[in-house]
Chain A
Amino acid sequence: MNEAEQQAFEQEIYAFVGEVVYPVTPAPDDVNESMIRHWCEVLGETNPAYLDQDWAADSARGHIIAPPAMMYVWGQEGFQVTTGRAANAQSNLVETFNRHGFTGVLGTNVKQEYFREVGVGDNIAVQMVIDNISERKMTSRGPGYFFETLATFTNRDGETVGTQRFKVLKFIPQEQPAAAASDDGKLETPTRIASVRGHDNGWWWDAVDAGKVLIQRCTSCQTLRHPPRPMCHECQSMEWDSIESTLDGEVLSFTCVRHPQVPGYPKDPICAVIRLAEGTNLVSNVVGCEFEDMAIGMKVKGVVEQVDEKTALPQFYPA
């Protein structure tokens, strides 16, 4: 695709932005207990607010509500999706991408927002539009465009119950490198990148594997030091032992690492520099609280946890 062709193509796809995929369409069935029960069973959801009439009767609401995440369920098309359906703006857009070689498709993320609860007997209508299309991006799958649909869900009174944004990547497929496989052919789940263990630091990580965080101590002048090094910076002694940290600490600084996301790591990990009660600093994660609740000076308490199949790490919680 040369520059002029790309321009013409982009003009064609960007014309879809704002197009209606579905006008306001009421669900074929009202919100009902059977459907809620099926859905909860499949998802392993056991919340009595969705399932237990007696419990719900005694609750503040006084009745069963539908799980908010179900809002997209009520308007789902049935068996007809397998036998063909009428063209709409979205299928036309997809067809336009396909015609120009962007045949790959990857649902990249769904974002739902909930504004109102839904009870049994209500009826959920859905309206969907094509909300936006990105500029051309070079992705690891190949060159492509992200398009996002916006579905708005309303109740019988026309009040907005929630919205759903669904982002899809249409791309020109590139050959993918073979997935890493272990000897027995099973796919390996990525884990965090481990620290290399050498003479000066291996003992520290071995202790973490055993559930302890140690702090190196000079046996000559008792000065604590971290990260471990072979000589005391105060008295130049090379003799040392270690003490176990209580993992009581205070946050000196922090950040949330949002981009890029790295395989094997949780999304948006919070990293912090923590001053331990013993006086040395340690870089670690703070878990168990939202980023918005983080503050310099907050007290934290650490514990060594198995964070994935291969990795044990100290993790800190608000104290």
Chain B
Amino acid sequence: MVANVKDKAVIVGVGNTRFSKESGVSELNLAVQAVKAACDDAGLHPSAIDGFATFTMDANDEIEVARTLGVGDITFWGRSHYGGGAATGSLHQAVMAVATGMAECVAVFRALNGRSGHRFSAGVSEGVMTADIIHWGWYMPYGLLTPASWVAMFTQRWMELTSVTKDAFFEVAHATREYAVNNPNAFFYQRPFDRAEYDAARMICDPLQLFDCCQESDGASCVIVTTPERARDLKQPGVSVRGVAQAAAADQEQMTSFYREEFAAIPEMEIAARNCYEMADLTPDDIDAAVIYDAFSPIVLWQLEAWNFCGFGESGDFVLDGALRPDGRLPTNTHGGQLSEAYIHGVNGIVEATRLVRGSSLNQPAKDVNHALVTSGVGIPTGGALLGKLD
């Protein structure tokens, strides 16, 4: 039984800061810029906000964001854990708050100086002292310290099981790069690349090379979620949350679920997909475009399988048929993704998925986008959301 919040919450505003390698400002500064931009987009004053949802990894206290922005009383705040697994997790929190009336207008945000501040590629070696430090202790002494190293371990085995080759990884990276070339806020704006450059790039952790890995970025993104009634009075066409789900599957670790009987798999994303489709009463055939979390190129392939756009091991052929391209079956990561736009922990993906449904992506597909999928990171407890036009 899936709790149904279908169409009970609507995204009405989106905002990004400038994305860069050195913002030169605090993460609080980035957060309030993004929230303000999303308010402006919605035609709302920040004082309309009465709730916040973000990541446990975010360094900004909700009350600091609120008083800095001039938000008044807040009646809801909720955080999602597990790094990029919190992207649609934060949206999930906001939708539940709005659907239950705990808050009327929730700002979902994520702000980070991910390049000039703490870098993800620095791994877990830099004084990360958290409750799960013992968990990382099973990997750190051996040198398995970074997200790339953990994902590489899954990738190597998945390639062996499926015979999918790096041709498919390149297609994922190349498709998103071609989109980024048209996006002035993307790191790779006007910087196309080819297979030779991809192949020549340095090896990070076999088989992942440099361009299989996402950016490290400074920036923030925000979406505003409110009730359908209120959404109809606002500036932008509302984008309704048809379905949203979170899941952690049995025997899950953060990024290192190496103890499952078959670990080259993401069962948690399959659960989230099943619940989202059921809640939204939609099937994969109804989904016209997607923003699929792309911290690394191969994880896009696994998610295409988890969301049933193709069967296990078929994602390589699926993308090589041009599915991710503007005129393909499922135009994907049309902002350039985190591989080529910026790594804002997937919340820039919610911004782009909203734009796809509004019809305002910089790379808007020619076909009508009635429904778009957006997902969170993989390897961790994760989730996704299905967005559609507000009736």
A interface with B by C-beta (< 8 Å): 192-198, 200-201, 205, 226-227, 233, 252-260, 262, 265-266, 269, 271, 273, 280-281, 283-285, 291, 296, 311, 313
Contacts and interface: CB of A to CB of B under 8 A. Distances in A.
B120 to A, nearest CB: 11
B125 A262 contact: yes
Nearest to B256: A283
Interface string B139-151: 1111111101100
B47 interface: no
B264 interface: yes
A288 to B, nearest CB: 15
Contacts of B123: 260, 262
A262 B204 CA distance: 13
Interface in B130-167: 133-146, 148-149, 152-157, 160
Interface residues of B, number: 40
B349 to A, nearest CB: 26
30 contacts: A192-B141, A193-B140, A195-B137, A197-B137, A201-B134, A201-B137, A205-B137, A252-B157, A253-B156, A253-B160, A253-B263, A255-B152, A255-B153, A256-B203, A256-B205, A257-B145, A257-B205, A258-B203, A258-B206, A259-B204, A262-B123, A262-B125, A265-B143, A271-B139, A271-B143, A271-B153, A273-B263, A280-B259, A283-B144, A284-B142
Contacts of A265: 143
Given A192-B141, A283-B138, A296-B160, A259 B202 contact: yes
B149 A257 contact: yes
Contacts of A193: 125, 140-141, 145
A255 B149 contact: yes
A259 B212 CA distance: 13
Nearest to A266: B143
Contact of B142 (A252, A259, A269, A280): A269
Contacts of B136: 195
Given A197-B137, A253-B263, 20 more contacts: A192-B140, A193-B141, A194-B141, A195-B134, A196-B134, A198-B134, A226-B259, A227-B135, A253-B258, A255-B205, A257-B145, A258-B204, A258-B206, A259-B205, A266-B143, A271-B139, A271-B142, A281-B263, A283-B144, A284-B142
Nearest to B119: A260
A313 B259 contact: no
A77 B288 CA distance: 69
Q: Sort A-B residue pairs by CB-CB distance and give the 6 closest, nearest first.
A: A195-B137, A255-B152, A253-B157, A269-B143, A193-B140, A271-B144
**Residue among A193, A196, A262, A285 with the most chain B CB within 10 A?**
A193
B139 A283 contact: yes
Interface of B: 121-123, 125, 133-146, 148-149, 152-157, 160, 202-208, 251, 256, 258-259, 263-264
A124 B48 CA distance: 80
Contacts of B135: 227
B143 A258 contact: no
Given A258-B206, A262-B125, A283-B142, A253 B133 contact: no
B142 A258 contact: no
Contacts of B160: 253, 296
A281 B262 CA distance: 11
A83 B137 CA distance: 54
A64 B378 CA distance: 58
A65 to B, nearest CB: 33
A248 B141 CA distance: 20
A280 B258 CA distance: 10
Contacts of A281: 258-259, 263
A3 B204 CA distance: 31
A313 B142 contact: yes
B143 A227 contact: no
A262 B154 CA distance: 22
